[in-house]
Structure 1
Amino acid sequence: MSSTDSPTDTVDRAFAAALYDAGDAGLDTGASLLAADPAADAEVALRGREFVAAAWRRGWQPADVDRIVRRELDDPHVRLAAALIRAQAPDDRPRGRRWAAQLDALPTEEPPRTDRFTHATTVLELYRLLLRLPTLESLEEPRRHPSPHRNAAADSRMLTRIRALLAKAEATGYPEEAEALTAKAQELMARHSVDEALLAARDADPDAPGACRIGVEPPYEQAKAVLLDAVARANHCRAVWNEALGFSTVVGHEADLEAVELLHTSLLVQAHTALTRAEAAQRRGGRKRTKTFRQSFLAAYAHRIGIRLAAAAEEAVADSGAGAELLPVLASREVAVAAATDRMFPETVATRLRGVSDAAGWTEGAEAADRAQVTPRRRLP
């Protein structure tokens, strides 16, 4: 480093060496330059916030960045990314409730203390990833219009109750109790969706469909994507899987998106609990656990859950008492969701599930899905 170099010059040289070359030699060179010049730290942090802002312009959101950093790098990078996102937030424009919730969910631990060279290496590895993020579909959160028909407090109580039921279903060690709790949660979700649809129909300017991204992580990501698609369709949404980046984009109206997020997470937890039990039974029977067994189990689980959720949704409509008023409303919302999905994803391809060839796994998975009852047992008062 020349004695006449400014902090900006140091950062430019370090970035030129490290960020545009995939090799470790350039990374070491860049880290050495930054480690030797403490005066460049503020400029490095500023550039990091600029990389975060550029990611937002390319369609990424806080949860997306957190997920890709966890997938590609290590915990120090995750903490550093979260700190950069929080530092950039005051300079950002308001982006809606879902965005704010993603910010709140970021880890709050500071990056671990290390020597300057190690820290600089972590910074450059993170910046190199941020720099190379591809452009994603924009998920601008639609503006919700105040309505005299909606009761925000009642909506909040409903969602709190649903979350509590699903949390209990995930935590209990008794399958029968988990079944009952999950069934009640789906009943409340279906009723909430019906109520939202009717209220939107009565409003002069109903909410447009929005979208959110939900992580679909390995292993067995294909089966997990199928499960998410089944949950989405049963709740009047559409899901498009991005296998390369490890998420699905779910398009739908806000109340339905919330239902999909909640129910998919809970069913995934319950599926893994059921899979653990099935594998234990396999071991007791002298059979080995295999990847094919697990893939087949989860694929069958997703398939059967989709059938049961669809039946639950149909029953909720039939039990609503709205009859002729409700069906055209739901059809109109389905058309709006389909149109929004087509605009965002004009080119999609179907994916065939691989590795679903274990008959025992398929049977066990289907039976586990049948036990996870989701059909409403009675109409809500």
Structure 2
Amino acid sequence: MGRRGSNGQGTAADGLVARAVQQVVAAPDGVLDHALDGGASLLAASAEQWPEVSRALLAYADRAVGRCWTAGWRPADLVRVVRRGLGPAHLAMAADLIAAEGRRHPAAALDRRWREQLRELACEVWWGPDSDYLAAFAERNRLDRFALATAALELLRAWALLPPITPVGPVPGQTAPRAGTRPAEGEPRMLGRIRALLAKAESTEYPEEAEALTAKAQQLMAQHSIDEALLAAGAAAKDAPAALRIGVDSPYEGPKAMLLDAVAAANRCQVVWAKEFGFCTIVGFDADLDAVELLYTSLLVQGTAAMHKAGSRRHRDGAPRTKAFRQSFLVAYAARIRERLTAATERATADAAAGRHLREDGTEERLLPDERLLPVLAAREEAVRDTVGRMFPKLVSQRVRVSDGDGWAAGRAAADRAALHGRSGSIER
């Protein structure tokens, strides 16, 4: 927090930072450069005052980041906003300011996905407790005071202009993680194994190996989801749908959102796309949300690689592939994946209802048919629909245009080759 010196310099630095940020935030786009130059000049003018400016800026950023949390934003969301509109120095500073604000919250005050985001974003306080953060950042990133002050003001402006959005989890320090979410010690061993299988499937050069690895991961994923549903149905404290956000980056955001929607629907989740912010909100139960995140990431890697391979070829007349080809390719890929996943989910549910159970080691065992399963799954799907209706009362549908027949045909063919197959009688997702 900002430190107050006996000579009042700390108070002056606090006011200086607040004034500079406010004038940049209030500036229309047409005069933004002028406001940035003026604000950065105010902050960077005095080398002697720079340490106090650093402390004041961290204190101001603490409050700014906290307001973003209250408005429904999460760490990955704030970083995504910066990545879409600013540069590498802004990204590094965003992670630092999120980490600095995070010192206020013990780990027990954060839900599992919040902790995972902080870890994936490498948010850590790397500067010393008594060091000058801005000086250390400038040295690490080779920036002068004026360039660094400009970057800080641009970053704080981007966050200050964010509107409130529908929250997808508790706010640190204000609400305890909801009952039924995964405990603090980490994800289940099953999910760790699924993650490892998918990573191997994406990295291997042999299609047959990738298909076998992905099939095993999908089988374990489906059984994990069904096991979680039955376990929750028998628990005294009833589980409830949750939500997460997944980034959908340009180019071809529409087809990517379609692919995510296909994966989510097959896993009894629903998707709401916020195109202007570059993410989709997925609503479902925890185990199903985990499945959607893992499977979408894997299928997007496969689909993008297939699109680039097909797009590198030329048309029969020698003309290069176009953006329309790639757009149509991904739309067709998503549509065909939807068909295959829907059929696979129906088979998986029928197998589970008949008592065919997949062990973690991949072998099957026969159990007595569980008459609870179908009503439990139907009730969970209804709960997801109700939650989406409460979270997003005003939704509109959007169509994605297909304008290249070759791209459509190639995309469906690539979806047919995607690693989704399991052996006969196994559970697929």
TM-score, shorter chain, exceeding 0.5: yes
* Paired residues of 1:301 and 1:365 also in contact (CA < 8 A): yes
**2:358 — aligned with what?**
none
Mapping of residues 231-250 of structure 1, within 5 Å: 231-250=263-282
% same residue: 51
* Paired residues of 2:112 and 2:181 also in contact (CA < 8 A): no
Mapping of residues 282-293 of structure 1, within 5 Å: 282=314, 286-293=318-325
Distance 1:178 1:303, change over 3 A: same
* Paired residues of 1:183 and 1:376 also in contact (CA < 8 A): yes
Mapping of residues 84-95 of structure 1, within 5 Å: 84-92=97-105, 94-95=109-110
**2:411 — aligned with what?**
365
CA offsets per residue over residues 53-75 of structure 1, 9 Å max, x none?
00000000001001111111001
SS at the partner of 1:230? helix
Mapping of residues 240-279 of structure 1, within 5 Å: 240-279=272-311
Mapping of residues 302-381 of structure 1, within 5 Å: 302-320=334-352, 321=355, 322-354=369-401, 356-379=402-425
Following the alignment from structure 1 to structure 2, what is the Cα–Cα distance between the partners of residues 169 and 287? 33
Deviation at 1:180, TM superposition (A): 2.7
Q: Which one has the bigger helix percentage?
A: 1
**1:60 — aligned with what?**
73
User: Is 1:29 the counterpart of 2:44 in the alignment?
Assistant: no
Following the alignment from structure 2 to structure 1, what is the Cα–Cα distance between the partners of residues 258 and 154? 33
**1:9 — aligned with what?**
15
Mapping of residues 171-186 of structure 1, within 5 Å: 171-186=203-218
Distance 1:261 1:114, change over 3 A: same
Following the alignment from structure 2 to structure 1, what is the Cα–Cα distance between the partners of residues 301 and 22? 45
**1:134 — aligned with what?**
163
SS at the partner of 1:249? strand
Q: Greater CA deviation, 180-189 or 204-213?
A: 180-189
Compute the TM-score of the two structures, normalised by the length of structure 2. Answer: 0.82
Q: What amino acid sits opposite 1:331 in the alignment?
A: A
Give the counterpart of 2:312 among 266, 272, 280: 280
Following the alignment from structure 2 to structure 1, what is the Cα–Cα distance between the partners of residues 58 and 179? 35
Deviation at 1:349, TM superposition (A): 0.4
Deviation at 1:325, TM superposition (A): 1.7
Following the alignment from structure 2 to structure 1, what is the Cα–Cα distance between the partners of residues 13 and 324? 55
Distance 1:162 1:282, change over 3 A: farther
User: Is 1:203 the counterpart of 2:216 in the alignment?
Assistant: no
Q: What amino acid sits opposite 1:325 in the alignment?
A: R
Deviation at 1:162, TM superposition (A): 1.1
* Paired residues of 1:214 and 1:261 also in contact (CA < 8 A): yes
Q: What amino acid sits opposite 2:329 in the alignment?
A: F
Following the alignment from structure 1 to structure 2, what is the Cα–Cα distance between the partners of residues 7 and 273? 51
Q: Superposition RMSD on alpha carbons, in Å?
A: 2.4
Distance 1:380 1:303, change over 3 A: closer
Compute the TM-score of the two structures, normalised by the length of structure 1. Answer: 0.92
Q: What amino acid sits opposite 1:255 in the alignment?
A: A
Following the alignment from structure 1 to structure 2, what is the Cα–Cα distance between the partners of residues 145 and 298? 36
Q: What amino acid sits opposite 1:64 in the alignment?
A: D
Q: What amino acid sits opposite 1:89 in the alignment?
A: G
* Paired residues of 2:244 and 2:281 also in contact (CA < 8 A): yes
Following the alignment from structure 1 to structure 2, what is the Cα–Cα distance between the partners of residues 284 and 158? 47
* Paired residues of 2:313 and 2:320 also in contact (CA < 8 A): no
Following the alignment from structure 1 to structure 2, what is the Cα–Cα distance between the partners of residues 180 and 199? 29
Unpaired runs of 5+ in structure 2?
1-7, 127-136, 171-176, 356-368
SS at the partner of 2:347? helix
Deviation at 1:283, TM superposition (A): 6.3
SS at the partner of 1:206? coil
Distance 1:288 1:309, change over 3 A: same
Following the alignment from structure 2 to structure 1, what is the Cα–Cα distance between the partners of residues 12 and 276? 40
Give the counterpart of 2:149 among 120, 142, 165: 120
SS at the partner of 2:26? coil
Deviation at 1:375, TM superposition (A): 4.2
* Paired residues of 2:259 and 2:337 also in contact (CA < 8 A): yes
**1:77 — aligned with what?**
90
Deviation at 1:316, TM superposition (A): 1.0
Following the alignment from structure 2 to structure 1, what is the Cα–Cα distance between the partners of residues 181 and 249? 37
Deviation at 1:221, TM superposition (A): 0.4
CA offsets per residue over residues 95-139 of structure 1, 9 Å max, x none?
211101111112458561311111100000001111101111011
Distance 1:186 1:285, change over 3 A: farther
Q: What amino acid sits opposite 2:86 in the alignment?
A: L
Q: Greater CA deviation, 300-309 or 165-174?
A: 165-174
Following the alignment from structure 2 to structure 1, what is the Cα–Cα distance between the partners of residues 404 and 206? 27
Deviation at 1:372, TM superposition (A): 1.2
* Paired residues of 1:308 and 1:375 also in contact (CA < 8 A): no
Q: What amino acid sits opposite 1:318 in the alignment?
A: A
Following the alignment from structure 1 to structure 2, what is the Cα–Cα distance between the partners of residues 197 and 161? 20
Unpaired runs of 5+ in structure 1?
none
Deviation at 1:306, TM superposition (A): 0.8
* Paired residues of 1:316 and 1:376 also in contact (CA < 8 A): no
